[in-house]
Structure 1
Amino acid sequence: MSTVVARRVSVSLPSALIAPLLVFVLLDGFIQGSVLSLLPVIRDTLHTDTAQAMWITAAQFLSAAVCVPVFGRLGDLHGHRLMLRVALASITLGSALCALAPTLPVFLAGRVLCGPLSSMLPLSVGLVRDQLDTAGSRRAVSLLAAALILGATTGTATAGPLSSLSGGGRTVLWNLAVLAVACLALALTPLIARTERRASGRMDWTGAVLLGLGLTLLLGSIAQGTTLGWLSPKVVGGLLLAPVALGLWVRASLRNPQPLVDVRAMASRAIAPAFACGFAAGVVVLGGQGVTIAFLDAVPEKAGYGFGLPHWQIGLWIAVPALVSFCTAGVSAAVGRRLGYRTMLTLAFLLLAAGFGVKMVGHAVLPLWYAGHMISDAGVGLAISGLPTVISERSPRDRAATSTAVYYNLKEAGGSIAGAAAAAVFSGLLTESTQQPSLTAYLLLWGMCGIIALASAALIRLTPPHHLPAEQPAG
């Protein structure tokens, strides 16, 4: 009876559940966006070079590849509230270490401790799936996805100006640590609901080690490919060993009755297309960010293309389309309810494809190119909020956090591979007179992203129709 009462309260007062989770996801986006924007400042503060500074993003990225599925599964097993608190404690310690760090290795240690940042969204999705009915969880997931976009946009847009006004990046890093402390204090209050339905079984540590090893080898090798060279023994060795580790993980998971990730369920027609589209979304969305910034920064008189915007303007030009993503993510539950989630996701990827097409056609005219960017980001919001909803609902309720964590890792892996591919295209298609990437390189990358988006629109149609499940009577 107590479980039923608790569930009635959580459904009738969803804001009490959602508000703190939105704060945690906002922190996730804000810290990641801020550190990305501060990379040049941090590099100079730590007296290192650009190649070594690339490990600042790679360290947290690799840590997240391990932490996200582990924290998601532990949340399903032992309670999402508990793992949110553990994650925020690690983030707080890591943020403080980054603010104090006198050298790059110490800073990287802090970034590793911040790896659980990426588990904020999966753990929050698991909690709302446990506490709310289907309609409520759909609205909650759309708001959480919107909050992640808003946090990243705000962090990227404000970190640079705040650093300039405060006289350096240390002040901004200390502000991030203070925000982490405040979120940890919030997590320790009774405002965070306790998970009512927990998964049975125990943690699959063998699967966690093999999956973490495989992802670390894959993403770490990709991250170093552009600096060490793709034929470097370290890079080649990592790329060869990664599929071996991931293959051993699949084999161990199939033999384990209670695996970290249910590989058979992932391969089913009900959910496999959504996972594949999550990877594609990472390629298109995350992989295209650096390309967009580079094109806005390129000076037409020197490169023969681009718009030559000042650095402080680039952040603002990127922020507006990101706000469009925020808005479309926020209304995705309503759109999905009206159109159905398959149709909404099809529309999302068609908007992405159309946006890249407009950017290719209008690459010489800023208003037209920017219109294409806005169209693409409208699709981004619908895609990255709709996919976690479909994946979490197609998964067992007591594995919602784990399934969302797998989606998150696939999206991040797609972004890493796309970033490496973009760097390879840029280095391979140079203009002889300027030794800068040619216009053909940009058009090729935008065209590839458009094709991937069109393929995803077709792929998502393979998912069975997503009907609203019937709710169980409260009594």
Structure 2
Amino acid sequence: MSVTKPTPDGVVPKECRTRVHAVVGLLVFMELTSGFIQGGTTPLIPAMRDALGVSTGDAQWITTLQFLASAVSVPVFGRLGDRFGHRRMLRVAVLCITVGCVIVALAPNLELLLLGRVLLGPLAALLPLEVGLCRDRLTTADNRKAVGMLAASLALGSMLGSFLSSPLHHFLGDIHFTLWAFAVLAALCAVVTLFGVPESRERASGPMDCAGAGMLSISLVLFLTAFSRGNDRGWHQPSTMGTILVALALFAGWVRWELRHPAPLVDVRAVAGRRVAPHVLTTFMLGVIMLAAPVVSITYLAAAPHEDGYGFGLSALGIGIWGGIPHLLAFLVASRSGALAERIGMRRLLLTGLVLLTAGHAGLIAAHSSLYLFALAYSVAGAGMGLAISGLPTVIVEASPTDRSASAVAVYSNIKVIGGTISGAVFTSLLETLVTRGTDTPTLDAYLLVWGLCTAGAAAALLVTLTTWSRE
């Protein structure tokens, strides 16, 4: 695939469009695999814990370490991709992932398994690298379609992984065989990057900001560790608050360093500019709604009305069906977002998504006593999610310099994770604090408050985005 940009008369040759679609299809497979591995790991943790003979507390590090490794990998791989080539760094990332999957499948003890999980950190870096590659090789319209498909595939893969990994483990009968399935998928992605993906052509200038990468990595690890463990260790403990303060101080120092560096890891001025900053807030809220809020809604679906006074008492299968409909709808909407953006524009598409997210979570409050109305409101939120997960990375990357495409999407990915981490800790605290007297069962008000916070957050993101664009 040597030419994918339009000719001087604005037309892309048909044979080039065909090859473009084929390459995007390969990248979609990689995102499906990435989502499947990430979403499919959590249901398998009890089996991994039992196979290794470790405690539940120790087993939590299986997800925590990979989560922290992702926070470090995303900005580093994004910048390296802009600097040395997105395909090259995709190959490095997939190689790390494949080796990590193999180590996890073979691991005879927790220490080796955790090493493998750390090597899986670049899973979260695949999307920024793919978006950077697509922006370099495709026209604006094709790039928007590709980003929508990639974001949708990641969400769909995560849903399929969470639903299918347990049945796969039950069918295979051995946790090591199940984990080998992940390794096979990762190896197929390695083959894709070797033979099916072209290299990007534009390169960022300047040296790699190693000091900035180190400062940002340490601050993110400290911050995310404190929030992910805050409910267990206690927020009032000096160790928890001290870790957060150190992380914030280090982050402030990192910002000053980036502002002075000639080739910074992250272009802080561009991120803080009025073209990108409003989308950072929206991305934070997307992390809240996408990563933290669904856990609360699924817990509500499982609550028994005759015992808790609320909920619908659904079985695991029922939760999979009713909870899966919004995610499937999000995938379908996101996959068609590029075509929709051509008709109504990317701004209106993103605003429509934020309106649907606001209305959907407000609907959860109003419809909490009716399963069908609850599912309808949840589906409205799912459609909004589909527009948001495809529209946000697109508007962020298009507002960024062409030689910083992957770095810009890396910022989007990490802000989303930070939003999910902070809100996850807050929501867990609310459910543990607002309980029925004499029990540890959350009250109905706890769930309504969580959905109210999501509604307010989505409305705030909508207002900021609308106000900002109206001034341009």
User: Which residue in the other structure is 1:260 paired with?
Assistant: 265
1:436 alignment partner AA:
T
Shift of 1:365: 1.4
Q: C-alpha distance in 2, partners of 1:312/1:37?
A: 14
Counterpart pick for 1:101 among 84, 90, 107: 107
Check conservation: 2:71, 2:220, Cα contact below 8 A: yes
Distance 1:306 1:53, change over 3 A: farther
Output one character per residue of 1:190-215: Cα deviation in whole Å (capped at 9) or x when no partner. Answer: x2111111111111111111111111
Cα 1:463–1:171, aligned 2, differ >3 Å: closer, same or farther? Answer: farther
Shift of 1:23: 1.4
Name the CA distance, whole Å, in 1 between partners of 2:6 and 2:350: 33
Distance in 2 between residues matched to 1:462 and 1:21, nearest whole Å: 35
Sort the Cα spacing of 1:354 and 1:317 in 2 relative to 1 into closer, same or farther, 3 A: same
- Paired with 2:468 and 2:23, the residues of 1 have a C-alpha distance of 30
Distance (Å, rounded) in 2 between the aligned partners of 1:16 and 1:81: 16
Gaps of 5+ in 1: 468-475
SS of residue matched to 2:60: helix
Residue equivalent to 2:401: 396
* Superposition deviation, residue 6 in structure 1: 11
Give TM-score, length-normalised by structure 2.
0.94
Equivalent in the alignment of 2:436: 431
> Deviation at 1:312?
3.5
Letter in 2 for 1:397: T
Once the 2 structures are TM-superposed, how far is the Cα of residue 70 of structure 1 from its aligned partner? 0.4
Q: CA deviation at 1:339?
A: 1.9
SS at match of 1:230: coil
Find 1:364's aligned residue among 342, 365, 369.
Answer: 369
Map of 1:471 onto structure 2: none
In the alignment, structure 2 segments of 5+ residues that lack a partner are: none
Which whole-Å CA distance do the structure 2 matches of 1:288 and 1:102 have between them? 35
Tell whether 2:337 aligns with 1:337. Answer: no
> What whole-Å deviation, never above 9, does each CA across 1:6-49 have from its counterpart, x for those lacking one?
99675563113212211111111010010022233323333333
Say whether 1:171 aligns with 2:201.
no
Identify the residue that residue 32 of structure 2 maps to in structure 1. 26
**Alignment partner of 1:62 is 2:68:** yes
Distance in 2 of aligned mates of 1:195 and 1:6: 16
Question: Which of 68, 76, 91 matches 2:82?
Answer: 76
Contact 2:435 2:441 in 1 (8 A): yes
Counterparts in 2 of 1:68 and 1:185: CA distance versus 1, 3 Å: same
Count of matched residue positions in the alignment of Structure 1 and Structure 2: 465
- What residue is the counterpart of 1:232 in the other structure? 237
Candidates 285, 288, 293, aligned match of 1:280? 285
Q: Where has structure 1 moved over 4 Å in runs of 4 or more?
A: 2-12
Q: Percent identical across equivalent pairs?
A: 44
Q: Could you tell me how far 1:306 is from its partner in structure 2?
A: 1.4
When residues 11 and 398 of structure 1 are mapped into structure 2, their CA distance, relative to the original with a 3 A threshold, is: farther
SS at match of 1:415: helix
Match of 1:412 among 413, 417, 438: 417
Secondary structure of the corresponding residue to residue 13 of structure 1:
helix
> Whole-Å Cα distance in 2 between the matches of residues 431 and 176 of structure 1?
42
Task: Look up the SS of the partner of 1:460 in the other structure.
Answer: helix
**Cα shift at 1:167:** 1.7
Could you say what the CA RMSD is over the residues aligned between the two structures, in angstroms? 1.9
Partner Cα distance (2:445, 2:56) in 1: 26
Assess, with a 3 A threshold, how the Cα gap between structure 1 residues 350 and 158 changes in structure 2: closer, same or farther: same
